[in-house]
């Protein structure tokens, strides 16, 4: 019996040498060490031996079982290590491959235009002053010299909130009052950018929400010449050298005198085209000298101080520069449009 046992052990160890993967290893385990494996009859056969032979035989069988179990475990660890090494080298990350770049956003065309405007006016000493989109009727209209039943209100219908006298501003002009009240009696040079809202039919030319940039300069000897120079410098830097300017008489309740600032059409060089409606001129801004009533509402004595103001759109010039033919694209959230800038 002991001979048979050592023959079995030798056979099992030799077989283990040829085992090459975990499947074969399991089969080997079942065959030699499993419940119905080759070693089991030896354990079971113990009872049939004469009592004096049992201890020696028992020890021999246990030693054989232990030897095979240890050999099995060693083999198992070696196979696992080999398999891990194989899978690591098969699935290795090649760090020299080019990466997949995350998609980065970009600035909205209105933001890009605004930033150009900021830098042009910053060079002329204008700071950016922020004022809220949600305004009171008092600031949006009354303090700008537009009393409740003034006909000019027709031009500026808007969205009203449920709170009496609180509305979405129709222009950035109420920021003038806020800036004056904050800085008075110091001189002022600010631009006031931001969104404005109007309750009107949305078309290719007009939106119900759009950006404006307001400008305000207040001081002791500010004249219309300063306004003209500022507007000319802005147009030159925004739209190119040699821009021709034209100031047309106009009316705004918060300026006196009031003007519309035009420049020669950058698309047809002033010859006349569809965009400038065959006039050769493009309107770029409303402007004027700050009305004495408005100066006083801001805290400045109009006998001592004077000022100029202007208010211009942002999307319209962006449309001109980029050749965009419909203002509704700006807030349409269409990536095909936005990706182009």
- Residues contributing to the site for ligand DAH (CB under 6 A): 171, 173, 214, 252, 255, 286-288, 309-311
Of 158 and 255, the one with the shorter C-beta distance to ligand DAH is 255
Least distance between ligand DAH and beta carbon 331 (Å): 18
Q: CB of 273: closest distance to ligand DAH in angstroms?
A: 24
CB-wise, 61 or 288, nearer to ligand DAH?
288
CB of 228 to ligand DAH, least distance (A): 13
Minimum gap (Å) between residue 150 Cβ and ligand DAH:
14
Buried b (16+ CB within 10 A) or exposed e, 191-217: bbbbebbbeeeeeeeebeebbbbbbbb
C-alpha separations of 132 from 109, 118, 129, 168, 178 in Å: 22, 18, 10, 9, 10
Closest CB to ligand DAH among residues 113, 158: 158
Burial class (CB in 10 A: 0-12, 13-18, 19+), 288: buried
Comparing every residue's Cβ against ligand DAH, the nearest one is: 311
Looking at residue 125, the DSSP 8-state letter turns out to be T
Least Å from the CB of residue 165 to ligand DAH: 19
Nearer to ligand DAH, 252 or 281 (CB): 252
Residue (187 or 257) nearer to ligand DAH, CB: 257
Give the nearer residue to ligand DAH in terms of CB position, either 298 or 311. Answer: 311
Long-range contacts of 297-300 (CB under 8 A, 24+ apart): 297/143, 297/144, 297/145, 297/177, 297/180, 298/176, 298/177, 298/179, 298/180, 298/181, 298/184, 298/218, 299/180, 299/181, 299/184, 299/185, 300/180, 300/184, 300/185, 300/218
Beta carbon nearer to ligand DAH, 42 or 156: 156
Smallest gap from residue 155 Cβ to ligand DAH (A): 7
How far apart, in Å, are the Cα atoms of 103 and each of 335, 336, 339, 341?
A: 13, 15, 11, 15
Q: What is the CA radius of gyration of the chain?
A: 44
Q: How far is the CB of 309 from ligand DAH (least distance, A)?
A: 3
- CB atoms under 10 Å from CB of 330, counted, come to 22
């Amino acid at each position: 019996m002991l001979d048979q046992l050592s023959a079995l052990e030798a056979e099992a160890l030799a077989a283990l040498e040829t085992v090459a993967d975990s499947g074969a290893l399991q089969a080997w385990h079942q065959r030699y060490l499993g419940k119905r494996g080759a070693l089991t009859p030896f354990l079971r056969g113990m009872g049939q031996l004469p009592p004096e032979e049992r201890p020696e035989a028992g020890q021999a069988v246990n030693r054989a079982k232990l030897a095979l179990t240890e050999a099995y475990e060693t083999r198992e660890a070696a196979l696992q290590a080999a398999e891990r090494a194989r899978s690591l080298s098969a699935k290795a990350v090649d760090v020299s491959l080019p990466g997949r770049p995350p998609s980065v956003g970009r600035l909205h065309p209105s933001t890009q235009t605004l930033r150009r405007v900021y830098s042009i006016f910053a060079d002329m000493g204008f700071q950016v002053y922020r004022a809220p989109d949600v305004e009171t009727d008092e600031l949006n209209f009354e303090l700008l010299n537009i009393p409740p039943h003034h006909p000019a209100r027709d031009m500026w219908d808007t969205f009203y909130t449920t709170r009496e006298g609180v509305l979405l501003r129709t222009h950035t002009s109420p920021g003038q009052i806020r800036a004056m009240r904050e800085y008075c009696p110091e001189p002022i040079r600010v631009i006031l950018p931001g969104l404005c809202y109007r309750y009107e039919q949305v078309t290719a030319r007009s939106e119900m929400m759009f950006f404006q940039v307001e400008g305000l300069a207040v001081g002791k000897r500010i004249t219309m010449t300063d306004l003209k120079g500022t507007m000319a410098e802005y147009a030159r830097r925004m739209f190119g050298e040699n821009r021709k300017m034209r100031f047309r008489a106009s009316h705004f309740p918060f300026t006196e005198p009031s003007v519309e600032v035009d420049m020669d059409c950058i698309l047809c060089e002033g010859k006349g085209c569809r965009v400038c409606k065959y006039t050769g001129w493009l309107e770029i801004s409303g402007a004027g000298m700050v009305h004495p009533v408005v100066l006083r509402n801001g805290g400045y004595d109009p006998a001592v101080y004077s000022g100029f103001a202007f208010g211009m759109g942002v999307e319209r010039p962006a449309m001109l520069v980029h050749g965009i033919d419909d203002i509704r694209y700006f807030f349409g959230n269409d990536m095909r449009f936005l990706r182009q800038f």
